[in-house]
């Protein structure tokens, strides 16, 4: 059996290390403190006796658990990120453990009256009777994605202790800077040497994902003309009004707050304006590649149309692709999803297969030649003070890793 207390202890040992990433840094890792996690993980992998343990100059940690069978089995990988989100502080995390959760409010912080309540976060009720790990209300928890790291480490340790479980080569990868969108950027896919991999970075038990958004960012620059308001008649052009027209001409119901499932959107993330110039920042998201292209086209056409009406180049638009839907890369090798699904079913876990309304490291890795679906790591309410994870979920994710390793070896016999 996989020991729950051991998993809790391991998880706590990771989350109490501050490893927040920083979008304002161009370095990799983006923060020096991420080295603390990277070095700890490297050391632990060495102590466990894994092979090819390495840490590169960008803090990517890799290792191999060699095959224990005679026949040839493709190498498979498991990947997690050790940075935590800069959206909320990850300094001095003090995990609180609630055993045998009774389904009621959990007081995270008496002094500041911070309460984690199932009235608001109904997912809590999925974990009645289980051991919940929460914050003390003043930090995030870092289950995203130190739960994933805990599970991978625990699975490796379990496989080492149970040589009767047959498996092929298992590759381990821990990355910095996922939360700032750069976790995969410097990932050496060739060195990693896996035929396919899984990121352990999903949320509730059963989640299995191989579809994500196609994503782009758009910068819309609107030019105006500043003249003294007292003598502006016929001369002043207020860029803010033109920007407003642009905003209002996009479909009003195609925004994050009005969409779900496979519906895409335009999301205005920022406005900076004065009379002379206004800058709009958008993100564009859609699972469907054609719809995605059409959205980008719509924005460009709109800019053209407004410019035409005004008889001048008032609007300049720049659109940059950010990442793509990994489905395109995973569908041709669908057995990698099937194996994960089968592993869950054998463990009596109901697979929840749904498109991600976001991106993962796995989507970038898939386009770098390493098909990489995402599996649940167990946490909820990421990137904030209400983040929590059930220890039982981490046990289950650990079992899923072990089972995938076992099933892969069987399939290729």
CB atoms under 10 Å from CB of 235, counted, come to 10
**Is 201 marked as a binding-site residue?**
yes
Site stretch for Zn ion (CB under 5 A), options 123-131, 136-144, 227-235, 367-375: 136-144
- Which residue from 20, 22, 144, 406 is in contact with Zn ion, where contact means CB under 5 A? 144
Identity of the residue, 136 or 201, whose beta carbon is nearer to Zn ion in the bound complex:
201
The question of whether 145 is a catalytic residue gets the answer no
3-state secondary structure 7-51: HHHHHHHHHCCCCECCCCCCCCCCCCCHHHHHHHHHHHHHHHCCE
Q: Does 20 bind Zn ion (CB under 5 A)?
A: no
Which span sits near Zn ion by CB under 5 A: 104-112, 134-142, 144-152, 395-403? 144-152
Which residue lies nearer to Zn ion by CB, 37 or 222?
Answer: 37
Catalytic residue among 136, 178, 207, 286: 178
Clarify whether 83 is annotated catalytic.
yes
Using rule CB under 5 A, residue 145 touches Zn ion? yes
186 burial type by CB count under 10 A (0-12 exposed, 13-18 middle, 19+ buried): middle
Q: Are 49 and 160 in contact (CB under 8 A)?
A: yes
- Measured on CA atoms in the order 284, 288, 290, 291, is the torsion positive or negative? negative
CB of 217 to Zn ion, least distance (A): 20
Helix (H, G, I), strand (E, B) or coil at 362: helix
Cβ atoms of residues 34 and 82 within 8 Å: yes
CB closer to Zn ion out of 81 and 295: 81
Pairing of strands 207-209, 352-353: parallel
Instruction: Tell me whether residue 42 or residue 145 sits nearer to Zn ion (CB atom).
Output: 145
* CB closer to Zn ion, 176 vs 224: 176
User: In the chain, how many H helices and how many E strands?
Assistant: 10, 18
Binding flag, residue 151, Zn ion (CB under 5 A): no
Burial of 177 (0-12, 13-18, 19+ CB in 10 A): buried
**Which two structure tokens, joined as six digits, stand for 63?**
């290792």
Residues 170-229 that bind Zn ion (CB under 5 A): 201
Q: Are strands 214-223 and 315-323 parallel, antiparallel or unpaired?
A: antiparallel
- Closest residue by Cα to residue 180 from 18, 56, 30: 30
Q: Smallest gap, in angstroms, from Cβ of residue 33 to Zn ion?
A: 17
Residue 80's nearest CA partner among 22, 131, 121, 19 is 19
Closest distance of CB 405 from Zn ion, Å: 22
Structure tokens belonging to residue 330: 């995973």
- Residue placing its CB nearer to Zn ion in the complex, 178 or 406: 178
Range in contact with Zn ion (rule: CB under 5 A) among 13-21, 139-147, 250-258, 267-275: 139-147
- Segment near Zn ion (CB under 5 A), from 36-44, 143-151, 284-292, 335-343? 143-151
Question: Which residue stretch of 12-20, 138-146, 254-262, 322-330 sits at the interface with Zn ion (rule: CB under 5 A)?
Answer: 138-146
Q: Which DSSP symbol is given to 237?
A: B
- Whole-number minimum distance, CB 399 to Zn ion, in Å? 20
Closest CA to 108 of 136, 133, 89: 136
| Shortest CB 81 distance to Zn ion, Å | 6
Check whether 81 is labelled as a binding-site residue.
Answer: yes
Instruction: Count interface residues toward Zn ion (CB under 5 A).
Output: 3
* Options 83, 151, 254, 406, the catalytic residue: 83
Edge-to-edge strands, sheet with 132-134:
96-98, 132-134, 388-390, 379-380
The residues of the shown chain that bind Zn ion, judged by CB under 5 A, are 144-145, 201
Known binding-site residue numbers: 81, 144, 179, 201, 383
Q: Which residues are catalytic?
A: 83, 178
Binding-site residue ranges for Zn(2+): 81, 144, 179, 201, 383
């Amino acid at each position: 059996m996989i020991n729950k207390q051991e998993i809790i202890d391991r998880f706590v040992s990771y989350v109490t290390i501050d490893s927040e990433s920083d979008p304002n840094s161009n370095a990799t890792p983006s923060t020096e403190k991420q080295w603390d996690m990277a070095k700890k993980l490297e050391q632990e992998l060495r102590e466990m006796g894994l092979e090819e343990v390495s840490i590169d100059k960008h803090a990517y940690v890799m290792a191999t658990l060699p095959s224990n069978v005679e026949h040839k089995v493709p190498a498979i990988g498991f990947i997690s990120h050790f940075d935590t989100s800069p959206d909320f502080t990850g300094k001095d995390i003090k995990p609180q453990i609630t055993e045998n959760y009774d389904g009621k409010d959990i007081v995270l912080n008496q002094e500041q009256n911070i309460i984690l309540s199932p009235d608001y976060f109904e997912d809590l009720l999925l974990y009645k009777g289980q051991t919940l790990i929460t914050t003390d209300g003043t930090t995030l928890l870092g289950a995203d994605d130190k739960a994933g790291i805990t599970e991978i480490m625990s699975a490796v340790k379990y496989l080492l202790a149970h040589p009767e479980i047959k498996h092929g080569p298992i590759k381990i990868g821990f990355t910095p800077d996922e939360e700032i969108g750069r976790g995969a950027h410097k990932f050496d896919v060739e060195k990693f040497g896996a035929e396919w991999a899984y990121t352990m970075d999903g949320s509730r038990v059963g989640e299995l994902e191989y579809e994500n958004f196609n994503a782009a960012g758009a910068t819309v620059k609107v030019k105006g003309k500043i003249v003294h308001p007292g003598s502006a008649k016929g001369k002043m052009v207020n860029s803010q009004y033109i920007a407003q027209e642009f905003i209002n001409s996009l479909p009003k119901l195609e925004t994050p707050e009005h969409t779900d499932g496979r519906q895409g959107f335009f999301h205005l993330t920022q406005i900076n304006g004065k009379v002379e110039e206004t800058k709009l920042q958008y993100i564009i998201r859609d699972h469907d590649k054609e719809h995605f292209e059409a959205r980008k086209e719509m924005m460009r056409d709109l800019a053209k149309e407004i410019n035409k009406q005004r008889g001048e180049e008032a609007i300049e638009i720049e659109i940059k692709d950010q990442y793509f839907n990994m489905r395109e890369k995973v569908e041709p090798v669908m057995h990698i999803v099937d194996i994960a699904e089968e592993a869950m079913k054998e463990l009596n876990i109901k697979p929840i297969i749904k498109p991600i309304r976001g991106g993962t490291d796995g989507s970038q890795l898939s386009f770098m030649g390493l098909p990489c679906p995402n599996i649940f790591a167990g946490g909820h309410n990421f990137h904030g003070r209400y983040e929590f994870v059930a220890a039982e979920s981490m046990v289950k994710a650990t079992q899923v890793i072990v089972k995938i390793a076992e099933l892969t070896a069987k399939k290729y016999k």
